[in-house]
């Protein structure tokens, strides 16, 4: 298993997952749900809902990268997206308590997913 921290900029994500069959992305999202809400999506089989395109601190969002890769037939065989609903996306903001409270539960879900046979 390889773990990489990426800026979240869409085109660099597409390049980073290019040679992998199984990818897990974790990102803060803004879909209008309550801060701290966990969204777990199987992006290899399901389109990213349009509400995830509403806000991004990146020039080209994670959701846009996934959907562009889908259109170009460049998605990894398995792509799981764990999106934690953020609260404030202003530059320089710190992690909110709602998002921080989700770190352990998301980590546990990822460990369970990685440990399960596919």
Does residue 16 lie in a domain region? Answer: yes
CA angle, residues 31, 28, 77, in degrees to nearest 5 = 95
Domain range enclosing 48: 10-115
* pLDDT band per the 50, 70, 90 thresholds, residue 76: very high
Decide: helix, strand or coil at residue 24.
Answer: strand
CATH number reported for the structural domain that contains residue 31 in this entry: 3.40.50.1450
CA angle, residues 4, 82, 78, in degrees to nearest 5 = 70
Tallying the residues shown for the chain, one arrives at 118
- For 64-88, what is the mean pLDDT? 89
Does residue 4 lie in a domain region? Answer: no
Q: How many domains does the chain have?
A: 1
- Two tokens, residue 28: 């803060």
Mind listing the pLDDT tens digit for each residue in 24-53? 998 888 888 898 999 999 999 998 887 775
Query: Is residue 89 within 8 Å of 28, Cβ to Cβ?
Result: yes
Radius of gyration of the chain (CA): 14
pTM of the model: 0.80
């Amino acid at each position: 298993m390889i773990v990489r921290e990426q800026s979240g900029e869409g085109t660099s994500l597409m390049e980073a997952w290019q040679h992998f069959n199984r990818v897990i992305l974790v990102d803060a999202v803004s879909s209008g749900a309550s801060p701290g809400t966990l969204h777990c999506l199987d992006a290899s089989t399901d389109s990213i809902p349009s509400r995830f395109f509403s806000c991004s601190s990146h020039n080209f969002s994670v959701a846009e990268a996934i959907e562009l890769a889908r259109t170009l037939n460049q998605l990894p065989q398995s792509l799981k997206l764990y999106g934690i609903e953020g609260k404030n996306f202003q530059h320089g903001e710190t992690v909110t308590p709602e998002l921080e409270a989700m770190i352990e539960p998301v980590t546990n879900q990822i460990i369970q997913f990685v440990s399960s046979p596919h």
